Chain A
Amino acid sequence: MAENQEVEVDDEDIDLSALPDDELVEQMHDDLYDGLREEIVEGTNILLERGWSPEKVLADALVEGMRIVGIDFRDGILFVPEVLLSANAMKGGMGILRPLLVETGAKPVGKMIIGTVKGDIHDIGKNLVSMMMEGAGFEVVDLGINNPVENYLEAIEEHRPDIVGMSALLTTTMPYMKVVIDTMKEQGIRDNYIVLVGGAPLNEEFGEAIGADAYCRDAAMAVETARKLVDAKQAADG
């Protein structure tokens, strides 16, 4: 059996610009997997130069690559630091694509505001979700920790996100998520947004009971759920 050693494959011969489109996209999936930001930036530029639309580069090369990363993270093959490296490479590609997507008026992957609720200062889980969402191509506005309802409302007003994400680690602070949702209802804006909640003591029943759209048990699930719900919302909005 082969030993688990840091494998170094001789890549001196890989000239991304010499690869046909399909092989280049496959190589970009591997480069995302390996967390190689410079290579992703290069690959993104090459595809654009070849006349690919920004939407197609995003969907076929980047989002698909990160989807694979998400699967292997869920299955315990990739460790957190490796996924963050991939997400960072993805952000490199997004840095190029985002202004172009705005220009062309293409549908963005989605925008999310996320924060830990009032009284709660735990942010490891929230940070992980934030980074995984960015890695999947979402634009993420991180409100940090200890957020009163006003912070969420102001951020909604300012950023017009698709998703409002709330996190709590404490059983004493998780009910505050309901305060935020109830306030959104009172203001008549609840149904304009997808509300996702997460945190160790939560479960699906709790998410349902407080009126969230979904409970996400981990960062990978948050990305999967967000994608699904944003697609559905965009389809419904036409």
Chain B
Amino acid sequence: MARRSGGREARKALRSAPLSEAIKPVHPGETGGQYRPLSDADVLAIRSNIFRILEEIGFGDATAHCIETCTAVGAIMGNDGRLRMPGHVVENALDLCDRNLVLHGQDPQFDLQIQGQKVHFSTAGAAVMIADYESNAYRDSTAQDLYDMARIVDQCEHIHMYQRTCVLRDVADNYEMDLNTLYGAISGTAKHVGCSWTHYTHLEKSLELLHAVAGSDAAWRARPFVSQSNCFVVPPMKFTEDALECLRVAVEGGMPVLLLSAGQAGATTPACLAGAVSQAWAECLGGLVYLNAIKAGAPAILGTWPFVSDLRTGAMSGGSPEQGLLSAACAQIGNDLNLPFGTACGMTDAKFPDYQAGAERAYTLSAAALAGANIIYESAGMYASLLGTSPESFLMDNDVLGATLRMTRGIEVNDETLSFENIRSVCIGGEGHYLGSDQTLSVMQSEYIYPELSDRDSPNVWEENGKPLILEKAIKRRNEILKNHFPKHISDEIDKKVRAEFPIFLSPEAMGRR
């Protein structure tokens, strides 16, 4: 067998390239489920409570289409105007639903298997401001910001999909805003994209744009690379008309739907966490009943996003420990129901990347990931309880997400990793340490993850390097990406075609095209 590996030049090339799949210490979809905040009895009690809420309390404000479709599968419309779902109706939806969801990227290398207890990370939004560290101020977010953040996420290994991060406040018309949110996001990254729409007619036009980018309706339906984030419910237990119409159009158009229940404990869900988990799941299962009544097996992510109120003010607290705990408990229920599940964790109440931001992001993320949430939305870049987002933060958060995935992966125990022979050979007649052992050499990259931006230098080296702050390194990297990285998975030809048919806000030049 060849022993030589090409010397210095080969090793330098190796170290500057991404790790091969076989060596990478973490992969998208590491298996969680180790953290179980609820006992088995707790899970049973909550599950029974969820079914009882659906059967006895039901939903207000169902649309005519929703009432017609759901009653056709056994839901009951009461004289009090509430749509109730008996247990067998919910069980039936659970039997019909798609449990092996694939979220496609425009590039198949970014396809995500949303199933079992596999864990992935996504951005989400929608921030209305940019936390601009360099000017120490918050400013309105723009179409350029959304596109730029997509390009940054495209370069972050541990952010597996890009759900729109901010509102385009420089695009006044809602139709144009929805359309440009979509086009900015899918132009900036070849990863799976999540967007939301304010009106179903906007979605209908957006589907035409997606067909143009995919090549045809059939090509889009074969690999739908955009999902719809849909707040179909306004907690507590009320449907909302515009979102239900968007949901219907998405299902009919072959677009996966994130069935999103975004209650806030203490305000729109009960202050007791067990009640908040129960209501969030009841709401999501109600959405699942409707979705499967429209089309059995339509792709969906069950999105309980159980936010938290700071009861001193009533304001939302995204960085609270209860946020992590609620998300973990919801993930445990999602695992118990074996449904593709997403939650929201990793945001912070801090205004800029500081101690509070890092700590809140890390402890909430760990809880949700270790509990086995399939997609953790809002896992990067979000500040001020989702009011602000920070482009450079994604680069720092990428390290946190990689570390969280490493913890999720856990420890493999087998004869080789137990290392008895290695311990014996080092201790008896060996060097007395493991630094140079074959095993250390063979696992130095696969067993350990190394941060890209976090600083592990000694104080002396740190001083010699000019005492760099992680934020300064992130801003430098951000500037490099924004200057040089203009993804071209959408060709100039298709871009021209899209621009001829739709009101695209950003100029070709702003998107790196001539």
Binding site for B on A (CB under 8 A): 1-12, 14, 27, 29-31, 33-34, 36, 39, 68, 72, 77-82, 84-85, 88, 123-124, 127-128, 131, 200, 203-204, 217-218
Contact of A4 among B5, B17, B441, B461 (CB under 8 A): B17
The reply to whether A77 and B11 form a contact with Cβ atoms under 8 Å apart is: yes
The reply to whether A9 and B6 form a contact with Cβ atoms under 8 Å apart is: yes
A-B contact pairs, 15 of them (CB 8 A): A3-B21, A4-B18, A7-B5, A8-B4, A9-B6, A9-B10, A34-B3, A36-B4, A68-B8, A72-B11, A80-B444, A81-B437, A84-B436, A127-B433, A203-B459
- Interface residue? B172 (CB, 8 A): no
- Interface residue? B440 (CB, 8 A): yes
The reply to whether A3 and B7 form a contact with Cβ atoms under 8 Å apart is: no
Chain A residues with CB under 8 Å of B7's CB are 27, 29-31, 33-34
Chain A residues with CB under 8 Å of B13's CB are 2
Chain B residues with CB under 8 Å of A14's CB are 4
Chain B residues with CB under 8 Å of A88's CB are 436
A4-B20, A29-B8, A68-B8 given as contacts; is B2 within 8 A of A12 (CB)? Answer: yes
Instruction: Output the least CB separation between A44 and chain B (Å).
Output: 17
A4-B17, A33-B11 given as contacts; is B2 within 8 A of A200 (CB)? Answer: no
Instruction: Output the least CB separation between B81 and chain A (Å).
Output: 59
The reply to whether A1 and B18 form a contact with Cβ atoms under 8 Å apart is: yes
Instruction: Output the least CB separation between A9 and chain B (Å).
Output: 5
Contact of A7 among B10, B432, B436, B458 (CB under 8 A): B10
> What total of chain B residues lie within 8 Å of the partner, measured CB to CB?
34
- Interface residue? B500 (CB, 8 A): no
Chain B at the A interface: SS class? loop
The reply to whether B20 and A3 form a contact with Cβ atoms under 8 Å apart is: yes
Instruction: Output the least CB separation between B450 and chain A (Å).
Output: 9
Give complex CA distance A81, B442 in Å: 9
Chain B residues with CB under 8 Å of A82's CB are 441
Given contacts A217-B460, A218-B458, 15 further A-B contacts (CB under 8 A): A1-B17, A3-B18, A3-B19, A4-B15, A5-B22, A7-B10, A7-B14, A8-B1, A8-B2, A12-B2, A34-B5, A34-B7, A68-B8, A80-B435, A200-B458
The reply to whether A217 and B461 form a contact with Cβ atoms under 8 Å apart is: yes
Chain B residues with CB under 8 Å of A5's CB are 14, 20, 22-23
- Interface residue? B483 (CB, 8 A): no
The reply to whether A84 and B17 form a contact with Cβ atoms under 8 Å apart is: no
Give complex CA distance A81, B446 in Å: 14
Instruction: Output the least CB separation between B293 and chain A (Å).
Output: 46
| 7 cross-chain pairs, A with B, having the tightest CB-CB distances, nearest first | A30-B7, A84-B436, A11-B4, A81-B441, A5-B20, A4-B17, A8-B2
Give complex CA distance A31, B441 in Å: 17
